[in-house]
């Protein structure tokens, strides 16, 4: 049985009104978005679920199996996809929220960069007056935005690793996600930096010689 039920080896557990003794505990055993999965012998399952009749809806086997015509064989990937089917709508909702949060993060970075450019308009004008090209100044602004985005993504990865064990269901953070997140952060940083570059291009060098 899974450890999420809070039971220990030797304790009793009621399953379908039948008392059973726990003989083993595993750290991860759940289906359908965290629903605990109890493992028992086939005979016990038949006794509890179908009144002791010799029936089984699913049989897990390794290697090639010779099945009767009335049976259908599924590969592990197909069985996993079938188990995940009831969660398709929640997963799509989570993905939508994820994309929305990315858009919000991009707007926040863009706002920070834009405000930074506004505060440094006089400095940018001085750079232009001394011969620094707009392209060089814009590259520096984009670099700043990329650094902010990448640092934020690394902090979020660290927080995710720290908070994952405290979630009520198992959270699996794949290695590909941790690699993809900083790459997406670079893209978001560049797009946010381009907004600051537009503001930079409009700053006239003569502003450097104006009054306070």
pLDDT score of 34: 63
Give CA–CA dist 70/90, Å, rounded.
Answer: 33
Whether residue 204 contacts residue 125, with contact meaning beta carbons closer than 8 Å, is answered with: yes
The runs of H, that is alpha helices, within 18-133 are: 42-49, 76-84, 88-119, 121-129
Q: Where are the beta strands (DSSP E) in the chain?
A: 12-15, 18-21, 30-31, 35-36
Question: pLDDT tens digit string along 1-56?
Answer: 566 677 788 788 878 777 888 888 877 666 666 677 788 888 888 888 888 888 87
Q: Which segment, 77-86, 147-156, 167-176, is predicted with the most confidence on average?
A: 147-156
Whether residue 2 contacts residue 28, with contact meaning beta carbons closer than 8 Å, is answered with: yes
Indicate the burial class of 157 (C-beta count within 10 angstroms; 0-12, 13-18, 19 or more).
middle
Give CA–CA dist 211/207, Å, rounded.
Answer: 8
Whether residue 169 contacts residue 91, with contact meaning beta carbons closer than 8 Å, is answered with: no
């Amino acid at each position: 049985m899974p450890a999420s039920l809070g039971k220990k080896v030797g304790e009793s557990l009621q399953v379908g009104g039948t008392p059973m003794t726990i003989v083993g505990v595993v750290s991860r055993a759940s289906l359908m978005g965290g629903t605990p999965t109890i493992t028992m012998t086939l005979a016990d399952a038949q006794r509890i679920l179908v009144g002791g009749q010799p029936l089984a809806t699913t049989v897990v086997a390794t290697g090639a199996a010779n099945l009767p015509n009335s049976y259908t064989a599924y590969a592990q990937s197909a069985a996993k996809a079938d188990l995940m089917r009831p969660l398709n709508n929640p997963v799509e909702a989570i993905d939508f929220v994820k994309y929305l949060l990315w858009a919000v993060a991009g707007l926040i970075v863009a706002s920070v960069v834009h405000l930074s450019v506004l505060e440094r308009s006089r400095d940018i004008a001085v750079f232009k007056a001394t011969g620094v090209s707009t392209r060089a100044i814009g590259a520096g602004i984009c670099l700043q935005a990329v650094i902010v985005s990448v640092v934020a993504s690394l902090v979020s990865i660290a927080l995710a690793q720290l908070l994952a064990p405290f979630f009520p269901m198992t959270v699996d953070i794949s290695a590909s996600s941790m690699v993809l997140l900083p790459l997406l952060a670079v893209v978001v940083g560049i797009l946010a930096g381009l907004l600051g570059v537009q503001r930079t291009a409009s700053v006239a060098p003569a502003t450097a010689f104006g009054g306070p």
